[in-house]
Chains A and B, each alone.
Chain A
Amino acid sequence: MSEERIQSEKMAIFLKGLWKENPVFVMLLGMCPTLAVTNSVTNALVMGVATMAVLTLSNILVSSLRKLIPAQVRIATYILIIATFVTVADYAIKAASLEVHKALGAFIALIVVNCIILGRAEAFASKNSVGKAALDGLGMGLGFTFALFLLGAVREVLGNGSFLGMPLFGERFQPVTLMILPGGAFFVLGAYLLLFNWLKKRKAEKEEEKIVFFTGEESI
């Protein structure tokens, strides 16, 4: 395989989590933290980065040990590995900022049951090299963080009138309290899914029009 092809394959592995296979907007995975902690941008970013770190590190360890772990105990082993890195992330966040740890509450521990992490360990890291598994973890983690940020930004601005804790509007601003409650998360997520599906459909239609224009035949 040429050097160029290897590089483009690595880039494709990294980028697919960001958009094409985005864990939240395309695969609809990890909904629990997505809906629960995106009430502010800070919470969303910290949860995204913590998940990305756990995802990347567990992918690396699963890939490193893939030939040593028998298939019969693979899921139990992956859970053990993921739980270890979640505990590490929990201590790290607590050491970095008590305030942020307080704000995220039980949701840090619940990263263990985030299906993105177990899904990537089973579907990708257990079948690929360490380098590729790390890239997959980073890409998927960044995609997850990006999605959480988008949700957190809308919810904080509308529900609290601030961005990253900084007030945006005057005292007369009436916050939409629903936005920072779980119900608001469903509304915002639904709106994003509607937008992204519409964009996807429009893109597909434009490509279809191009094919018709060049070949003169309508596709079936």
Chain B
Amino acid sequence: MSETGIPIQAPPSVGGSRLMLAMGSVGFIAGILIVFTFQFTQPIIKANEKAFLEQSIFEVFPQTAYKKVFTPDENGVLQPVAEDAEVPYKIYACYDAHHALTGVVLGASGQGFQDVIHLIYGYDPRQQAIVGMKVLQSTETPGLGDKINNDPKFLSNFKHLDVRLNSAGDALRAPVTLIKGARQNNHQISAITGATISSRAVARMIAQSAAINIPLIYKNLKRLEEAGNE
């Protein structure tokens, strides 16, 4: 008897093979549907991701005419690779129409407030500064943390973020740091009010990535410049 006093009718007894057949059939239909959708949408999704990356690189270095992809080998030498190569880390060298290196685009990832944030930033070797940043993927709080995507004041930090190297060329002269309030120096990032965790995540990601990659680029700069003519 149920709580309401109405007797509950037990479903008619069914053999185990019938249950398995029913579940198996629905599983088969589900599998077909998912595989078909995956096959159909995967090329579109990949093309979307590629186009978004291209557009983001162009936003960081608007004068880019073409780009080449490099990856560091075990000796810290940047080796050219195909654009769709499956390598752990890619560095995008951007060139203008005269084959001159306009800048280098680097990627960085790290934990944000809700999930992992993926971003790219542009390094200009002539200025020895980061000159642009674009968030590729984030699920930060809409209206607060997601200001790392579009807040003009926050993004202005990356118009000229000083990442000059020491005299030996193996480390940054001053590490990239986050500051609450207006920035005092060009190597500081001014945090977004109300979204300190997200801004701190971005600052930490760039600081860590720049500390490793900027000396690497400096070491391979000639190689990258010459690759434009190849």
Residues of A within 8 A of B (CB): 39-40, 43, 61, 65, 68-73, 76-77, 80-81, 83-85, 87-88, 91-92, 94-95, 97-98, 102-103, 105-106, 159-160, 175, 177, 180-181
Nearest chain B residue, comparing its CB with the CB of A40: B142
Q: Judging by beta carbons under 8 Å apart, are B143 and A95 in contact? A: no
Nearest 3 A-B pairs (CB), nearest first? A71-B11, A180-B143, A105-B139
Instruction: List B contacts of A65 (CB < 8 A).
Output: 25-26
Instruction: List A contacts of B41 (CB < 8 A).
Output: 91-92, 94-95
Nearest chain A residue, comparing its CB with the CB of B115: A105
Instruction: List A contacts of B42 (CB < 8 A).
Output: 91
B77 at the interface (CB under 8 A from A): no
Given contacts A70-B14, A73-B22, A181-B143, contact A98 B37 (CB under 8 A): no
Give A154 Cβ to nearest chain B Cβ, in Å.
Answer: 14
Q: Judging by beta carbons under 8 Å apart, are B26 and A77 in contact? A: yes
Within the assembled complex, what's the spacing in Å between the Cα atoms of A79 and B18? 19
Within the assembled complex, what's the spacing in Å between the Cα atoms of A167 and B121? 28
Residue from the list A40, A70, A77 in contact with B18, Cβ < 8 A:
A70
Interface bracket on B = 20 to 34
Q: Judging by beta carbons under 8 Å apart, are A80 and B139 in contact? A: no
Q: Judging by beta carbons under 8 Å apart, are A102 and B137 in contact? A: yes
Among B23, B137, B194, chain A packs the most CB atoms within 10 A around the CB of B23
Q: Judging by beta carbons under 8 Å apart, are A177 and B144 in contact? A: yes
Residue from the list A40, A81, A88 in contact with B37, Cβ < 8 A:
A88
Nearest chain A residue, comparing its CB with the CB of B51: A98
Within the assembled complex, what's the spacing in Å between the Cα atoms of A80 and B138? 29
Q: Judging by beta carbons under 8 Å apart, are A39 and B142 in contact? A: yes
Contact residues of B between 1 and 39, Cβ < 8 Å to A = 11-12, 14, 18-19, 22-23, 25-27, 29-30, 33-34, 37-38
Nearest chain A residue, comparing its CB with the CB of B15: A70
B49 at the interface (CB under 8 A from A): yes
Within the assembled complex, what's the spacing in Å between the Cα atoms of A192 and B43? 43
B156 at the interface (CB under 8 A from A): no
Contact residues of B between 167 and 213, Cβ < 8 Å to A = 194
Instruction: List A contacts of B33 (CB < 8 A).
Output: 84-85, 88
Instruction: List B contacts of A71 (CB < 8 A).
Output: 11-12, 14
Q: Judging by beta carbons under 8 Å apart, are A81 and B22 in contact? A: no
Nearest chain B residue, comparing its CB with the CB of A88: B37
Instruction: List A contacts of B138 (CB < 8 A).
Output: 102
Residue from the list B12, B26, B44, B142 in contact with A80, Cβ < 8 A:
B26
